[in-house]
Structure formats: C-alpha cells, structure tokens
Amino acid sequence: MRIDAEFIQSHNGKTLSDHRESFAYLSGKLDRKGVDVSGFIQKISKFQIAIPSWALGTGGTRFGRFPGGGEPRSLEEKVDDVGLLHALNRASGAISLHIPWDIPSDVDAIKAHAASHGLVFDAVNSNTFQDQPAQAHSYKFGSLCHTSHAVRQQAIDHNLEVIRHGEALGSKSLTVWLADGSSFPGQMNFRKALQRTLDSLKEIYAGMPEDWKLFVEYKPYEPYFYSTVIQDWGTSHLLASELGDRAFTLVDLGHHLPNTNIEQIVATLMMRGKLGGFHFNDSKFGDDDLTVGALKPYQLFLIFNELVEGMEDPRSTNPSPAWMIDASHNLKDPLEDLLQSVEAIQLAYAQALLIDRPRLEEARESNDPAKAQELLQDAHRTDVRPLIAEARLRAGAAIQPIEAFRALEVRKRLIEERGAKSISTGL
Ligand code: AOS
Ligand code: ZN
Ligand code: ZN
C-alpha cells in the first residue's frame, strides 16, 4: 500500500490551526533569541535517517516472538514499508539492507521501486554471525578471527559479495558487525584473534571501490559472554586506523556497558575524524533495542551536542556520519516504533542545534559549570516539537505521523494485503 499526498493533506487539515499557533509562538521566541528559524528547519529537513531492513518485522528474544501480522514478505515489501514511513515523515529516505536476508532478484526493478518511494540504499550489512544453509564452513567459533584459514576466507568472500550487491544498488558503504568472541576464559588467544581480524578486514577493505567507506561496529558482549574481538571503540578505532582513510568506527548506542560516557566517545572519534556512522536505539541493560529516546532522552541530547559541535566545526575532518536506527520491536508495531524513533532523533538534533555555543564555550573557558548546565538545559527544555512538525509540513509529510498512520489503519490494511501470519526475515 501507499499513502497518497491528498490523504496527508486532509489529515493535516484537522490540526493545522493548532500547529500554526504553537509554531508561531515558538518561532517568535527563537527569532527574539536570534535563531534563523528557516535555516534551522532546512537543517532538520535535510537530516535523513536510514531504516534497516531487519527492523520492519516483529523482533523477539530467545524466549519467544509474538508477531503482529502484515509483516513484509519480500524485499519489495520492505521497501514499501520504509516508503510508508517516508511518506509520513519525509525523514526516512534511505534503507539499509542486510545480506543474505535481502539479496535482490532483480536489481534494476528494486532500484526503480525504491526510487518511486523517494528512497536510496544506504550502507549494506554483512552477516557472518549465522550459518547459512549452503555454507561450507561454520561460524560457530568465529568468522574473520577464526583459527582456520578456510573459514576466514569464506567470511572475507561473503563481505566482498555484499560489497558487489551494494555497488549494484548504489550503496556507498559496508558495515561490519562481528559476533566473533569467546564464552570461556582461555578459549581464545586474544592477540592472535585480533591480528587475524585485522588481516581479514584488510582484504575486505582492499576489495572496496575507491568511493566506499568501511564502518567497523563494536560491542562489548553478546552473543559470546566472556570476550568479544571488537569489544569497544578503542579496538574499532585501532582497526579503522590501521585499515586506512576510508575506514571508520560505527557507534551503536546499545553497545556500551551501563554508564559509559557515549558522548565523550563521540567527541573523541570526531576529533580524530573517525566517526563513520551511528546506530540509534535506547536501552536500560544492554543491546535492548528500545525506541530511541524512550529512556534516556537527555543522554541522546548530550550525544547530539557533540555531534553538532563536530559537524558544524569548519576545521573538522570528520565526514558526515551515516545515521541509522538499529532496533527490533518486541511489543509495539514496528512502523509506529520507527516513527517514534525518527522523531526522537530529530528532537535531540534540533535541541542540540539550539545550544548557544559561543556562550557555552565562554562558560567552559571561565570554569563555570553552573552556567554551562543552564545553557545546555535551556536548549534541552525547549519544546521543539512544532519545529519538527513544521519541517514535516513543508516537506509534504504529516504533522502528526502516528495519528495519520492510525487514522489510515495502515496495519489493518497491511494484514489484509499480506496476511496475519506473514513473517519478515530479520532478528
Ligand atoms: C548487532 O548487535 C548490531 O547492532 C548490528 O548492527 C545489527 O543489529 C546486525 O548487524 C543486524 O544484522
Ligand atoms: Zn548496530
Ligand atoms: Zn546491536
């Protein structure tokens, strides 16, 4: 199904006068503070967040899965789902594919299909954390780090194949997340495992087209419980530095131990020009995959404070990072969850753009922590929702995406189209 512009317009009509009133109030306030409101809205509109193809179905845990129905049954339907999101918010204009779950049977057709929704293909993701039916060697004891040359070669070849699929689709980057690690002390020689991983990554890096980037994701635990080869940003940064200028660290918010100062990691990587991409989610314990901003919106804002500082610094050598949501959804409708996540990211970004940076720097230079906090919290406590809604309105999207999604009974219609038992490939 597709959402037509007319429906969005008529749905917007219901809340337009309310919205106009709140927007006028906020833009008046911001004007008086010297904020260029139109420029601000343009920045928000430009900020596009990729949707991973594996986030469109109901996720589960090892204890169970409770699918909600109407899940996409093919790559084409996954593209349709991202198209629905993009029609509602005009902020989800890219899809990130996972190989082998999403190998296109007809590349030209899927490209045309995506383009008809206004979508492009973002980073492609490899998978050496599961064995595939036709595979010669098992990844039970690792992939790029494996003790056996044959297993490593199989994993390298898989990544090279993912790059070829990505090239055909117009992607420009490969994200490598490795499950590789060990569950028992003594099981793995850490030094050899890291060296082998680096050597394998070098072969993948060498197989990338000149205009591609390689993103190395890190994670402290899971699926192994004692050690992970690429456990933290330092290890990822080490690998990316050894690999070369087109290799970067990718930060996934759920991949940190409790209380890690993620915003400081962001600042450090940006200082080094090595922050390549971001996977957004929220979590209480670990890689919980909760809706972005559901638990720690202030932390998200502090992270965006560093991102904006890095992005707006004219001397920064950091390329514009690739933004993606990385979450699976156990309880909510995946599409509603994704709409909420995109909005939470936009809100944090907008609030970070509002920070009075010259005054913040002044407070820092004069060692005035109370003033610094006032300035940060002033931005964070500003209700910027009318700005985001205005950006959507100007782009032809819905003032209230979830309300529109429900008014149109999107899920019900998807269930009618695809069935109550359709299952999407993914986590
Ligand atoms: C796994 O925990 C990582 O977050 C990956 O980025 C991702 O979820 C996985 O590669 C999905 O295929
Ligand atoms: Zn991730
Ligand atoms: Zn993860």
Question: What is the whole-number distance in angstroms between the Cα of residue 288 and the centre of ligand 3?
Answer: 8
Q: Are 66 and 94 in contact (CB under 8 A)?
A: no
**Model pLDDT, residue 43:** 97
Q: What 3-state class would DSSP assign to 58? A: strand
Ligand 1, closest atom to CA 52?
A: 11
Q: How many CB atoms lie within 10 A of CB 404?
A: 24
Amino acid residing at 184: F
Question: What is the whole-number distance in angstroms between the Cα of residue 12 and the centre of ligand 3?
Answer: 36
Q: What lines the ligand 1 site, CB under 6 Å?
A: 54, 98, 125, 127, 177, 217, 219, 252, 279, 287, 326, 427
DSSP conformation class of 211: T
N- to C-terminal Cα distance for the chain? 24
Residue nearest atom 2 in ligand 1 by C-alpha distance: 287
Residues of the chain with pLDDT under 50: none
Question: What is the whole-number distance in angstroms between the Cα of residue 405 and the centre of ligand 1?
Answer: 27
**Model pLDDT, residue 330:** 86
**Model pLDDT, residue 426:** 64
Q: Relative to the alpha carbon of 52, which ligand is closest?
A: 1
CATH topology of domain 27-418: TIM Barrel (3.20.20)
Ion ligand 3: protein residues whose beta carbon lies under 5 Å: 252, 287
Tokens read off for 362: 């002044």
Ion ligand 2: protein residues whose beta carbon lies under 5 Å: 252, 279, 326
Question: What is the whole-number distance in angstroms between the Cα of residue 24 and the centre of ligand 2?
Answer: 38
Task: Report the relative pairing of strands 124-125 and 181-182 from DSSP bridges.
Answer: unpaired
**Model pLDDT, residue 59:** 84
Residue nearest atom 9 in ligand 1 by C-alpha distance: 177
Residue ranges covered by each domain of the chain: 27-418
**Model pLDDT, residue 350:** 98
Which distant-in-sequence residues (6+ apart) come within 8 Å of 176 by Cβ? 126, 144, 159, 201, 204, 214, 215, 216, 217
Q: How many CB atoms lie within 10 A of CB 179?
A: 18
| Burial annotation 192-209 (CB, 10 A radius, 16+ → b, else e) | ebbebbbebbbbbbebbe
**Model pLDDT, residue 65:** 86
Which distant-in-sequence residues (6+ apart) come within 8 Å of 399 by Cβ? 11, 12, 15, 16, 19, 389, 392, 393
Model pTM? 0.97
Ligand 1, closest atom to CA 287?
A: 2
**Model pLDDT, residue 427:** 61
Question: What is the whole-number distance in angstroms between the Cα of residue 252 and the centre of ligand 2?
Answer: 5
Task: Report the relative pairing of strands 227-228 and 181-182 from DSSP bridges.
Answer: antiparallel
Q: Relative to the alpha carbon of 178, which ligand is closest?
A: 1
